[in-house]
Chain A
Amino acid sequence: MNESLLDVDGLSLGFSGEAGFAHILDGVTLRMKPGEIRGLVGESGCGKTTLASAILGVLPRHALKIRGGTIRFDGTDMLSRTATADQARVRGRKVTFIPQDPFTSFNPVFTIGQQVDELMKWKSPERENAGVPRHPLFTRYPRARRRRDRERILSTLASVQLPQPEQILKKYPHEVSGGQRQRLMIAMALLPEPDLIIADEPTTALDVTIQAQILGLLRKLATERGAAVLLTTHDLGSAYEICDSVTVMYAGQDVEAAPVDAFFNAPAHPYTGKLLASRPEGAGGMTGIPGEVPSFYDPPPGCRFAPRCPRATADCKRRPDPSHPGEGHMVRCYHPIDAGSAAEAAEIVGAER
């Protein structure tokens, strides 16, 4: 507990819907150290966002069924239905969120300043007991704290390189560009001085030049302030840019976790290898992965990648246990790619240049 900030262990959950029960996450394990920047990589529909929302505790309660596993954040059980006050104290205060789409994440009818103030009213680092639900009418926002919060807001906006912070606070969301809105989102995620920032595809909606700026900013600020970042992305390039380590998910299972160098130089899971080879920069690129992501209503037993995997055998009907090909490197596969073998390394890594 002292060494890990976030500890997701064997988490399995799903949703019941009209078409039956969807098994979204299957035994996901994720451990994060304080101050670590971790990439959570996978294709769309692999459960990245569901995992991120589960950590925040914002999944819809009526449809959600948790089938096993735990999420502990700094000692708080984020799945328990009794410790809601503790969870509320963590949510938005110790763990903050940067959404994917900066265009729909602001309320269009309030100024940016009003929305940032509202955040600080409830989640300011100075607020005692932050997060305990009370009726808004009975919650005071003392003037002295409001003044100090204002200073903090202005300095944070300056640190995300927004020009003229005071003018920006008076504007409405539609008056600023997408890149600026994403900077504002980063500022709002930093303001409560969190221990963990969950960034859900923060640069997908942005142009490549703006993406480079935003990623650099995120890395710099998180390192300066000692916050850990969980960056979900489908873009291996942005994961390479700023992450210390990477976890790969496929169809709701974590298949590989490794420090960033080991991940890109010696991928061990066949899916990871295929994913790296599909990038357009790869020389063997354009191969793609034959087949489709399995249905969540009726997932294949064991390893969910088995139906598309060229190395699959009968063993793969059971979920492989984690094995460790290297320091901090975890892979869940019976037939991992052997990085030592030259032919296989060429098959996968050779595709990089």
Chain B
Amino acid sequence: MSAPILHTEGLECRFPIKGSFGRRLGEIRALDGVSFALHHGEILGLVGESGCGKSTLGKTIMGIQSPDAGRIVFDGHDIAGQSPKEARALRRRLQYAYQDPGASLDPRWRIGRSLEEPLVIHTDLPASERRRKVREILVSVGLPAGHIDLYPHELSGGQQRRVGLARILMLNPEVVILDEPTAGLDVSVQATVLSLFRDLRAQFDLTYIFISHDLSVVRLMCHRVAVMYLGRIVEIGPVEDIMSRPTHPYTQSLLAAIPRIGGRRVTETFWLEGEPPDASRLPQGCRFQGRCPHVQPICREIDPPDREVGAQLSACHFAGEIEVPPAAEDAT
């Protein structure tokens, strides 16, 4: 494959925990050495439980947060920690779709005005041209052009998502970061929104980073998946490989936790106990040690480096050696 359109190297992002009088009590390592590459035209899934740093990663790439260390290279340029002015040109090509589009639309603006705003900021098109473009994009996301004059509260959740997407497409971006694009949607609406994403990708030649906690959606949509746990990518690889042969115990348990209709009941076979530890008090060694069923003494001492297993990279000392528990095997 050609050079990646976007890649990160050792990206770190820490949030300080402040006590009284601004004393620094500790820090949350929201991103802890994240490296990955995104190729042109692909859909990269980013999965993990809440609080594992998925959204932080997306926002750091966008420049909404600046990283504490590491590089983000977009199209040959290091964009980490750019000034807002420098970043502006970039914003046209890199866009972020927020989790809740209802909350990111101005309730007092009509849809048409919200959609027009990016054009006003980034281009010097005349008003008539702008309006023509708004109408064009609105139709391509599957909304009637008449919706230009509606207010956000008059739309349903699925329609609001389409408007959110339309606003992102206004500037013809190349990479779109979709943050939980189907959270809170019903299955029937979710299905239509997902197929819209696919159609638009073909139509506008887009590359997606697809942040989600729903592995079944990710399996359907993505080419590659990165699984995050407490600020680190613990496994990354092609979607079929990860779904059929997960090598990291955390990926295995995530896959096993999905209820599968017609299969064995997960609630009877699920083995993972406990909850993720506090991100401000990461243990020494592997961050999954407290919940891992295969934990060995080495896991408590050395944070495992990425290990190559086939096309997958897995941050586990025993990647490729651990047996997949029975419930995960059903997933194939």
Contacts and interface: CB of A to CB of B under 8 A. Distances in A.
Q: Do A and B truly interact?
A: yes
Interface of A: 43-44, 177-180, 207-213, 215-216, 219, 234-238, 240-242, 264-265, 274-276, 278-281, 285-290, 292, 352-353
A208 B194 contact: no
Contacts of A236: 187, 261
Nearest to A289: B188
A273 to B, nearest CB: 12
B261 A281 contact: yes
A353 B260 CA distance: 10
Contacts of B260: 237, 281
Interface stretch (B69-77, B162-170, B269-277, B308-316): B269-277
Contacts of A278: 187-188, 190-191
Nearest to B255: A208
A241 B266 contact: yes
B257 interface: yes
A274 B189 CA distance: 12
A265 B258 CA distance: 19
Interface string B185-206: 0111111101100000000000
B215 interface: yes
14 contacts: A43-B187, A44-B157, A208-B213, A208-B258, A234-B186, A240-B259, A241-B259, A241-B265, A279-B261, A280-B214, A280-B217, A280-B220, A288-B188, A288-B192
Contacts of B213: 207-208
B220 to A, nearest CB: 5
Contact of A286 (B191, B261, B268, B272): B191
Contacts of B188: 43, 274-275, 278, 288-289
Contact of B50 (A207, A241, A289): A207
Contacts of A177: 275
Given A216-B270, A274-B188, A286 B258 contact: no
Nearest to B156: A292
B262 A235 contact: no
Given A213-B272, A236-B187, A288-B191, 20 more contacts: A208-B213, A209-B254, A210-B275, A212-B256, A216-B270, A234-B186, A237-B259, A241-B265, A264-B261, A264-B262, A274-B188, A275-B187, A278-B187, A278-B191, A279-B216, A280-B187, A280-B214, A285-B191, A292-B156, A352-B262
B254 A208 contact: yes
Q: Is the interface of B mostly helix, strand, loop or mixed?
A: helix
Nearest to B273: A213
B40 interface: no
B191 A212 contact: no
A237 to B, nearest CB: 3
Contact of A44 (B186, B192, B220, B257): B186
Contacts of B157: 44
B49 interface: yes
A353 to B, nearest CB: 8
Query: Which of B253, B261, B268 has most A Cβ within 10 Å?
Result: B261
Contact of A216 (B187, B195, B254, B268): B268
Contacts of A211: 257
B20 interface: no
B2 interface: no
B147 interface: no
Contacts of A180: 275
Given A207-B213, A280-B194, A289-B188, A352 B267 contact: no
A286 B196 CA distance: 10
B39 interface: no
Query: Which of A177, A219, A240, A290 has most B Cβ within 10 Å?
Result: A240
Contacts of B219: 280
Nearest 6 Cβ contacts at the A-B interface: A237-B259, A216-B267, A288-B191, A288-B192, A43-B186, A207-B49
Nearest to B189: A288
A292 B192 CA distance: 12
Given A213-B270, A241-B265, A288-B192, A235 B220 contact: no
B191 A287 contact: yes
Query: Which of A219, A241, A292 has most B Cβ within 10 Å?
Result: A241
Contacts of A178: 50
Contacts of B272: 209, 212-213
Nearest to B197: A286
B287 to A, nearest CB: 15
Nearest to A287: B191
B259 A238 contact: yes
A234 B268 contact: no
Contacts of B191: 278, 280, 285-288
Given A177-B275, A212-B270, A285 B259 contact: no
Nearest to B194: A286
Interface in B260-315: 260-262, 265-268, 270, 272-273, 275
Contacts of B217: 280
A209 to B, nearest CB: 5
Nearest to B220: A280
Given A208-B258, A237-B258, A285 B220 contact: yes
A286 B256 CA distance: 23
A208 B212 CA distance: 12
A308 to B, nearest CB: 9
A227 to B, nearest CB: 17
Nearest to A291: B188
B220 A209 contact: no
Contacts of B214: 208, 280
A208 B275 CA distance: 11
A236 B262 CA distance: 11
A352 B261 contact: yes
A280 B216 contact: yes
